Structure 1
Amino acid sequence: MSSTRIAPNPPAQLLDALSLLLGDGQLSMQTLPDTEIKLWLINADNMDRQFSPEETQRILEEPPYWCFCWASGLVLARWLAQNPDWVRNKRVLDFGTGSGVAAIAAAKTGAFEVVACDLDPLALAATRANAELNDVDLSYSADFFVEADRFDLIIVADVLYDRANLPLLDQFLSRGKQALVADSRVRDFQHPLYQRLGIMQACTWPDLAEPAEFRQVSLYPAQRS
């Protein structure tokens, strides 16, 4: 006798948070292009109207990073799936996990342990929900700087949008033997331990119609000297 699996409902905590920003904000389970990863993401329809000044202000004050899969996170997830030796049987921390896409990709690719780290409690809640969607087990941290220097790899996507964050490049290597940074915003940082591996194409999902330059994601690996 066959059984029909009932589709899960969006987590109430995340729906409530989104509705405080956008009165009609909705989440849907979406499979990311060219991956097997499913995430709870904002409905594309919510982006097809003009926001009120009040909504715009709320979004600027508390950006809901967790309900998008940003281009760099998508590139990093795809790259890990295609290059499993980077994470297989290793201890991995995903810094600024957001929706959890890179952490989930690392877990699905065979990492021994994956810690999803983010200051935003909603990002950690979203990552928990997304990990459940993908049947993977993650650990969680709200403070990178209390973590011990015990990781084989620190993975990072979309945290260099502000040049003030560039000193984090050294901090990543204070907790992990290696780091792998994906970014589409800052292209000219000079660091002796980080060398560009390549440039890959992706867009934020749902598509925000970002400029073409933000669809070019660079990958920078580094190893502690």
Structure 2
Amino acid sequence: MFSDSPASASPASAQRLDQHLQQTLPHGRVAQTRPAGCADLNLWLFDPQVLEGPLSHDEAQAVVDAPAYWSFCWASGQVLAAWILRHPEAVAGKRVLDFGCGSGIVAIAAARAGARDVIACDLDPAALDAAEANALANGVTVTRCEDFFRRPAGIDVITAADVLYDPDNRPLLATFHDAAPTVLLADSRVRDLGDDRYQLQTVAEARTWPDLHEFEEFNRVRIYRCDSASSGAVS
């Protein structure tokens, strides 16, 4: 669950995350916690103890609409991170770029699984701060990248979780395929990707952490793999 350590005892990196979060929720703060869907990793995430009760609808909507999405660990990120930890051979010794890194959970899992180099990529500087702070909390390091189209060369694996929520993002499937030999994609929003190059690996259940009480259908996560040869289903 969540640590009850006061915010004043947080390291400088967590205090910086508090400042980012308070731009959306004035009384918000982060605390260390282990998401239920990937309890092997310890993350600085939104601390619900600052609230008198569960997030109201308006507060939850503010989090979804504003950049503080990085302060929650979404279901697809948890499931993909846990899958990588169970299947380290998918990233071990490789250069991995995590697209839309958010809290950084997938990037951190890749680093823990033995990736040679892990790049956390996100347009939001606050998310990159979160990924760095969370990597430090797990004893690994990640490299920042604010622009996917100015990414370092030699990417072996692209990881991405919950990036297809907007139909306009669907072309990312082809972009990822063209950018790296292997793509590991987790999604809970799109039932049919419409791209046969992406092969279903497994389906798992998880909930956003802390829980935003989303529709149950968004708790069912599908993991896909796309590479030069069909990998077959792996559970």
Does the TM-score normalized on the shorter chain lie above 0.5? yes
Check whether the contact 1:92–1:114 (CA below 8 A) recurs between aligned residues.
yes
Check whether the contact 2:22–2:28 (CA below 8 A) recurs between aligned residues.
yes
The answer to whether 1:190 aligns with 2:204 is no
Match of 2:26 in 1: 23
Gaps of 5+ in 1: 1-6
Q: CA deviation at 1:50?
A: 3.0
Check whether the contact 2:63–2:69 (CA below 8 A) recurs between aligned residues.
no
**3-state SS of 2:178 partner:** coil
Match of 1:94 in 2: 98
> Counterparts of 1:16 and 1:152 in 2: how far apart (Å)?
35
Aligned residue among 179, 194, 206 for 2:183: 179
CA 1:135–1:61 in structure 2 vs 1: closer, same or farther (change >3 Å)?
same
CA 1:209–1:148 in structure 2 vs 1: closer, same or farther (change >3 Å)?
same
RMSD: 2.0
Check whether the contact 1:88–1:110 (CA below 8 A) recurs between aligned residues.
yes
Provide the TM-score with structure 2 as the length reference.
Answer: 0.85
Aligned residue among 208, 211, 216 for 2:212: 208
Match of 2:134 in 1: 130
Q: CA deviation at 1:217?
A: 0.1
Check whether the contact 1:30–1:39 (CA below 8 A) recurs between aligned residues.
yes
The answer to whether 1:109 aligns with 2:113 is yes
Gaps of 5+ in 2: 1-8, 230-235
Match of 2:89 in 1: 85
The answer to whether 1:170 aligns with 2:174 is yes
Percent of aligned positions with the same letter in both sequences?
A: 43
Check whether the contact 1:149–1:175 (CA below 8 A) recurs between aligned residues.
no
Provide the TM-score with structure 1 as the length reference.
Answer: 0.89
Match of 1:152 in 2: 156
How many residue pairs were aligned? 217
Offset from partner CA, 1:3-25 (integer Å, 9 cap, x none): xxxx7446222111212211221
CA 1:93–1:187 in structure 2 vs 1: closer, same or farther (change >3 Å)?
same
Check whether the contact 1:38–1:130 (CA below 8 A) recurs between aligned residues.
yes
